[in-house]
Each structure stands twice: as structure tokens, then as C-alpha cells.
């Protein structure tokens, strides 16, 4: 296919006329499709329904250690739930505290308590003149929302297929004591689906931060969320806690995970993994904050999945549903935009998203055009702090919730809008290159 | 029975000799009894086991409004869960946000976010030189722990059978802008089981605080936790939100409740009730903190209890188990300490505790003596901020967890220790009057 940038004005105008007609036809269909939300599909949720048969009125409600899970007690989670979450993260159970239904909440609490009480004896961040976080971009809007909420300055760090730009990370972290954290999704990153290379993880572990209370916020949200069953198409990420320990900085990481996209979104089990020192500091706050989290739901999960093999088997079932969805979108992208020079996209081995890069200055217009034709996408800019994508080029595609048929339809509209907006911008002389 | 204070030295010495022997005998039995924790008994928890039959693999998982409760969404709770929690608190569902498994966590979050972000546009408390809370005493240790954790100064306000000393509350709240809150358990207070009178509630509603961001933390933990089925033995408390509205101060209250002691402790559903203005402010933080709480557990509770009548019927079953326990303790107290002048106690119509007042300076010694003889009580002082009871006289008795037989045994030891310690203190000339 001819690259749009190589077309002359006449070709562009003729192309535009055809696209406009196509767009009006599409609009006329009155579609209502949604590729905006990274949430599991109904069929996927149905796959986990037998978890509700695990507990019934006759069930023994004692944990492995003899705890009656229906009563108060056990601040940091059932031992068997610790093991389950530890297996997901590839860490030791003694490094784990099991929380309630959402890892986002744990991240919020970690930042919130660093603000009011400080990290392991350091000055509370609210008393500092300036606190900064590094934000690999594009990234997860809810991470950025937490740091924005607490008035933390966010510094953009470009993502690469191997992870964040580590030269920049090393420089900023080692030179600036006000840099207190970095948001990371190390595996199948949101939105690109990139997985940090071993070198990236090792460079993280070997950071020499200016701030004693610098912490890596390691959101291992997609630890077992592979799209393919073949070993060689399953990304692996080095276990960071032990890498940090080897590097002499055992306290540098907070790792987060949950079963939100394993069992049920919003009704799963979440956990933090960290060093003994960090966990002790966290428990000092936790013991004030709660008597304990929902141990019944912990028990339900453990008895249902049984062990890590059970979780992996369940995730293979999820993958069987999700693969055709990703494929449906990728097929349309490749067929319609391959070689046009007006877009590039990722083809991840797991996670919940495909990341699309339009020509600079086109993302907002594309999302708006899609909306006009009945296709909802994640708002352009959402993958950047403050909702501002400096190049206005990144669009997050979430193919997990709709059916493959809906996705093919939605992707058709999407590529049509990409073409139309790109042609218009080229005619205006406003956009020429793909951002990445 | 002769009051101990009227005994002469000889009588006290002879009394002491007998008690010492009794105490050594008791110690010899090697008992291991616990009246320290306000938690439900196993039999009580067993009464709710059929809640697990409500959801199974074939269940329709849609809420009344058609929400798939297994997926993300619904920040503030299912509408039917709002109604359930509203009924418990006697408020309107539109004034309710449903949270996760524990109201303590909501209280913590309320204080925490007031510290970092302020209340409805007011200056964040962390930026103020001084923040104070009024603490009716004796009270709930976990309330005091939250305010202590955030460095908030706690001012003791004496409790009366009608509620906190309102003359003192009115004066402090209206004169001191640094007074930002008060901890209240309006019904079957912890530990005394007192219920605020209508006059007390109206005086609360009519407070004219110096601080615009003064809030009443109204922990309605025992709203439906009656010990008796007879209407006239069920305490009622005026609904404070509407009283505040009538008084022109709709935003002055955060009310908290949970099903922790209705369904399961730590695996129930918790909620806040407040004005529209407060709820909007809370949601601004909540939307950063979480995508939503566990809606599956909300649905489970609603389908199980069906309506407020269902909750009341369930609580009558709990009461049938708890009445004989309270009675077992009260019988021993009355029989052994009635007329002795060395102790007074409450006889509540509901809640989880009996509050005991020893002679001044005796509480710690009594708790220690009980421990020696194998009976664990809540630590003396726990019912006061900083764990310090200025008169060292209050002891919280928690009769809910052990069996009535165990309670009778434990109460026997308790009264023996009260007598022995009192006699010793009287002989030392160190204690004479009952604190309250």
C-alpha cells in the first residue's frame, strides 16, 4: 500500500472524498461499540462461576492454620492466600501481605501513607517542598491519577519495547532527591503490552537513588495474563525483589498484584510483595486502618484454584477467548493500515491492550471521529499524566470486552477514522510522521 | 453485703486471707478463658452459614439495575446494597455510599483524606498547626488509635448514661477552631452500652462549631444489635442526619455502619451515610482510590437478608445466643459484688460489652490478677486515648465469644480478683471510692 505521506495533493483529495463517503455510510449504521475499557468479557467471567460452589452452608470455614475465616483476626492474610499471591508474583509467601479486593487501593494507600507518615522512618512526603514521580509513558491512567491527586509532580519517561528509558531513569533517580517513585507495569504493560527485559530489571535493581525513600511501584497486574499457550510466546520478567536483594537494595520495591482479571474484577484478592522492612512499616499503618480484610473471599479463591497450576489452567481458558479478539483487531489494522505510514501498533503476547500510534496531532481527532460513528475508545491522552499526550498520537485499544464480531466491526470504523483524519491533517500540512 | 469501705483493718485482713486462698485455688485449676474480644461466637457465625447457598454457579449475577456484579464499575455501591445499609442506619439510600468489608477502614480513610486533602474545600488538616478530636470516655480503642496515628490531639469528654457531657462538647466545639471532630458510638456505646438520649442527639445537631470542617464521626456500629426482643427493651436513637438538616447543618455528620456483627466479622459490607455535599467530596477521593468495592459480596448480602425484616429476624437469633451470656456475667457480678461498694457495672440492652468500674487505681491490678488465674480481659486503659485511664478504674468485659458456662467460670474469677485487689488497695490506704 502506498504511504499516505507520499501522496500528492490530488491523490489525497480523491482519497479523502472516498473516505468521507465511507464514513457517512458507517455513521448511518447507528453502531454502538466500545473498545475503551480493559475489562473481562461476560464469557470470561462465566468461566469462573463455579467458584461459588466452593463454599456452601456445610463448608468447613477453618483455614490451614485453624483460623475461623468468618471472624475477626489475621491482619496480613491467610497463609494459603499469601502462597497463592506469592506464586502469581513469583516471590516468597513471607514477602506478601494479602489485602482486599483491589491492588489499586493498595497503591493508593502506599502513596497516601508515605505522604502522611513517610516511608520506613523518612520524612513524610507532605512535609517536603517537592515530591516527584517518574511516569513511563504511555502508561496507566489510574497510576497517574493517584500521584496527581497527592500533588506529586510527574516526569514523563519514554517507554521502549524493553521497558522505560533506563538512561533517563538512572539519571533522574540518582541526581534528584525529590524523585520518590516510579510507576511500572513490568509485564504486558498498559497500554503497549511490552515486557521489561532482564537488563531493564537489573538496571532497576541496581539503581542508586538520591532519596532513601525512593520506591519502585511495580504493578505486576498481568503476571499470568498470557494470550498464547506456547512457552516461547509467554513473556517472562525477572523477579525484582530478589534482584534488589542481590544488588543490596532490598527495600526499593513495592510489588502489587491481584486476581481482578483472574477471578472477578472488583471481587478478587489483592496483595503487596516487599521486603521485611517495608512490610513491617506497612503493618504499622495497616493495624490502625483495619482489623483485617475479607478472609472468606481469600479462602474461596484458594480452595477454588487449589494451586498455581490451577491458576495457569484457568488463564489458558481466558486466553482461548481473548486470542481471537486481539487477532480480529490486528487483522484489520494490518490489512487496512499496513504500509500506509499513518499508524503503528503493538502486537503483545499478553495483557489487555493494543497500543496504537497515529501520526502526531491526530489521536484526539481520531477518537472523536470514532465516537461520531458509534465506536467508543479510551480518551486520547488518557495514557499520559494529566491526560495530556504531548504528541497527541497514542490511542489505547481494549479488545477484551466486545465479541470478535463486534471488534471486527469496530476496528473497521477505527481504521477508517485513522485514514480520514490522517488525510485531513496531511492536507492541512499539520502532520507528517508517526510518533514512534 | 457490707461495703468494703466500712470494714476496719482487722476485717479487711481476715477477708484478704480468705480471698488469697480462694485465688490460689482458682489459679490451681489452670483455666484459660477469654473475655477480652468483642467478637461473635462460633454458634452465632454458624447461624449465617446459609448465606453461602445464595450464590452458586448457576446464579444470575445481575443487580437490580442490570449491572454485572462480577465486573468493574459502580463506585458507590449497588442500589440494593445502599438500601440495605440505609435501612440499618435509618437514613435514605441516596445518602449512602457502600464500601468494602469494614467501617473502621472508612473512618480511617475519612480522617486520612481530611489530613491530606481537607474536608469540602477547607484547609487540609496536615497543614494546620493543631488538630483536636473530642473523645468521649470510656470509648472504643480503635477510634482513638486512628486519631493518635495522625497526631491528632485527643480531649477526653466524660460519658454519661445519656451520652457525652454535652455542656463540655458544646463549649469546646464552639470555642476552639482546632477541634475538628468527635468520636461517637450513639447506640449501645462501646464499652458501656449507653444510648444517646434524644436531647443529646438534638444538642449534637445544633452544635455551632468554630471550625467549618468540624465533623461528628457517628459510628452506628450496633444499630440493630439488641439483646432483647421486647420493643421497650430496645434502645432507639434519633436519626442524626435529618436532625442536622433541620438544624441547618446538613454537612456536620459522617455516619458509619457495617454488617460485621450481622453477617461475618471482616467479611461483611460497610457503608457511610452523609449529606450530598460530603458524599460528593468523598467520591472525589474514592474515584482515585478504587474502581469499586466488592459488589458480589454486596449482592450476596442483599439476596440473603432480602429486606430489613430479614436483618431484624437474623439479629433476634443472635440475641437469643447472647442474652444468656450477658446474664451469666451480670448474675455473678450482682451476687458477688452487689452492695460491696467496690465496683459498679452497666446492664445494657444491646451491643457487645459490659463496662465495669472498679475503685480508682484498681483496674490494672485486677486485669493482671485475672491474667494470673487464666482469665484474659481487655487491657486496662484500652478504653481511653493513649491507653491511659486517668483513674485506672474502667474494665471492659466482652461476654460474646465464650460459652455461658465459660463466662460463669470467668466471672467468678473476675469478681474474686476485684475483691482481692480492692481489699489490698484499701489496706494500703490507696483506694476508696468508685470512680463513677
Cβ contacts below 8 Å, chain A against chain B, sum to: 154
> Is a pLDDT exceeding 60 seen at residue B436?
no
pLDDT at residue B175, as a whole number: 98
Query: Whole-angstrom Cα distance, residue A397 to residue A389?
Result: 16
Alpha helices (runs of H) in B220-294, residue ranges in sequence order: 240-246, 276-289
Strand partners, A180: none
DSSP for B127-156, written as a single string: GSS--EEEEEES--HHHHHHHHHTT-EEEE
Which of A102, A117, A265 lies closest to B70 in CB terms? A265
By C-alpha distance, the chain B residue nearest A59 is: B49
Q: Which residues of chain A have pLDDT under 50?
A: 435-436
Quote the pLDDT of residue A429: 83
Between helix A308-337 and helix A404-427 the angle, nearest 10°, is 40
| Res A436: pLDDT | 46
pLDDT tens column, B12-39? 999 999 999 999 999 999 999 999 989 9
C-alpha cell at A141: 491512567
Probe site for chain B from A52, A63, A146, A352 (most B CB atoms < 10 A): A52
A176 to A209, A312, B73: CA distances (angstroms) = 8, 41, 38
Cα dihedral A60, A65, A71, A73 in deg (nearest 10) = -170
User: Best interface-test mutation with A: which of B66, B99, B266 has the largest number of A CBs within 10 A?
Assistant: B266
A248 Cβ partners below 8 Å, 6+ apart?
none
Q: Order of strands, edge to edge, in the sheet holding A179-184? A: A96-98, A270-273, A253-258, A215-219, A179-184, A132-137, A153-160, A163-164
Of B116, B145, B265, the CB nearest to A150: B116
Query: Residues 357-376, chain A: which have Cβ within 8 Å of B?
Result: none
* Chain A partners within 8 Å of B295 (Cβ): 266-267
Look at residue A432 in the predicted model and tell me its pLDDT: 61
**B52:A50 CB<8 A:** no
Segment 285-324 of chain A within 8 Å of chain B by CB: 285, 288-297
Interchain CB distance below 8 Å, A289 and B59: no
Query: Taking a contact as any Cβ pair under 8 Å apart, which residues of chain A between 31 and 70 contact chain B?
Result: 37, 39-40, 42, 45, 48-53, 55-59, 61, 68-70
Q: Give the mean pLDDT of chain B.
A: 96
Return the residue in A296, A297, A304 with the most chain B beta carbons within 10 A, the one to mutate for interface testing: A296
CA distances from A85 to A224, A265, A271 (A): 11, 16, 7
Q: Which residues on B lie below 8 Å from A73 (Cβ)? A: 266
Interface probe with A: pick from B44, B104, B256, B294, most Cβ of A within 10 Å: B294
- Contact assignment for B264 to A70 by CB distance below 8 Å: yes
pLDDT digits (tens, 9 = 90+) for B332-351: 999 999 999 999 999 999 99
Q: How many CB atoms lie within 10 A of CB B118?
A: 17
Bridge partners of A155?
A134
- Which spans in A206-307 are helix H? 240-246, 276-289, 295-305
Per-residue pLDDT reduced to its tens digit, B266-299: 999 999 999 999 999 999 999 999 999 999 999 9
Residue B386's pLDDT is what? 96
CB-nearest to B105 from A73, A102, A289 is A289
- Percentage of chain B lying above the pLDDT 90 cut: 97
pLDDT computed for residue A431 by the predictor:
58
Q: What phi and psi values does residue B134 have, to the nearest 5 degrees?
A: -90, 135
Q: Is A168 near chain B, with CB under 8 Å? A: no
Tell me which residue in B52, B61, B116 faces A55 most closely, judged by beta carbons.
Answer: B52
Amino acid at each position: 500500500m502506498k504511504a499516505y505521506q507520499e501522496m500528492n495533493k490530488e491523490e489525497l483529495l480523491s482519497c479523502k472524498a472516498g473516505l468521507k463517503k465511507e464514513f457517512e455510510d458507517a455513521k448511518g449504521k447507528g453502531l454502538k461499540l466500545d473498545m475503551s475499557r480493559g475489562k473481562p468479557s461476560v464469557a470470561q467471567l462465566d468461566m469462573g462461576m463455579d467458584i461459588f460452589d466452593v463454599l456452601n452452608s456445610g463448608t468447613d470455614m477453618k483455614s490451614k492454620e485453624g483460623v475461623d475465616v468468618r471472624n475477626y483476626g489475621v491482619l496480613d492474610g491467610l497463609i494459603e492466600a499469601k502462597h497463592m499471591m506469592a506464586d502469581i508474583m513469583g516471590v516468597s509467601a513471607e514477602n506478601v501481605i494479602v489485602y482486599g479486593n483491589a491492588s489499586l487501593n493498595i497503591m493508593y494507600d502506599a502513596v497516601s501513607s508515605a505522604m502522611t507518615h513517610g516511608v520506613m522512618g523518612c520524612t513524610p512526603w507532605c512535609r517536603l517542598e517537592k515530591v516527584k514521580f517518574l511516569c513511563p509513558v504511555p502508561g496507566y491512567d489510574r497510576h497517574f491519577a493517584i500521584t496527581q491527586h497527592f500533588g506529586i509532580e510527574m516526569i514523563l519517561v519514554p517507554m521502549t519495547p524493553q521497558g522505560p528509558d533506563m538512561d533517563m531513569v538512572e539519571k533522574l533517580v540518582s541526581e534528584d532527591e525529590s524523585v520518590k517513585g516510579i510507576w511500572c507495569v513490568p509485564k504486558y504493560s498498559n497500554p503497549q503490552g511490552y515486557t521489561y527485559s532482564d537488563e531493564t530489571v537489573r538496571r532497576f535493581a541496581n539503581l542508586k537513588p538520591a532519596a532513601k525513600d525512593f520506591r519502585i511501584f511495580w504493578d505486576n497486574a498481568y503476571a499470568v495474563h498470557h494470550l498464547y499457550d506456547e512457552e516461547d510466546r509467554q513473556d517472562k520478567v525477572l523477579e525484582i525483589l530478589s534482584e534488589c536483594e542481590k544488588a543490596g537494595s532490598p527495600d526499593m520495591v513495592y510489588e502489587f498484584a491481584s486476581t481482578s482479571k483472574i477471578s472477578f474484577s472488583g471481587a478478587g484478592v489483592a496483595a503487596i510483595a516487599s521486603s521485611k522492612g517495608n512490610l513491617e512499616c506497612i503493618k504499622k499503618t495497616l493495624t490502625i486502618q483495619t482489623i483485617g480484610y475479607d478472609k472468606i473471599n481469600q479462602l474461596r479463591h484458594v480452595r477454588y484454584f487449589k494451586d498455581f497450576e490451577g491458576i495457569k489452567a484457568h488463564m489458558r481458558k481466558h486466553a482461548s477467548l481473548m486470542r481471537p479478539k486481539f487477532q480480529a483487531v490486528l487483522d484489520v489494522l494490518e490489512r487496512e493500515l499496513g504500509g500506509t505510514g499513518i499508524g503503528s501498533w503493538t502486537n503483545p503476547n499478553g495483557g489487555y491492550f493494543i497500543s496504537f500510534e497515529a501520526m502526531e496531532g491526530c489521536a484526539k481527532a481520531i477518537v472523536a471521529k470514532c465516537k461520531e460513528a458509534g465506536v467508543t475508545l479510551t480518551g486520547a491522552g488518557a495514557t499520559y499524566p494529566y491526560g495530556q499526550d504531548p504528541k497527541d498520537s497514542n490511542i489505547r485499544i481494549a479488545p477484551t470486552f466486545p465479541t470478535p464480531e463486534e471488534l471486527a466491526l469496530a476496528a473497521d470504523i477505527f481504521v477508517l477514522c485513522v485514514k480520514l483524519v490522517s488525510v485531513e491533517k496531511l492536507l492541512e500540512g499539520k502532520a507528517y510522521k508517526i510518533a514512534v
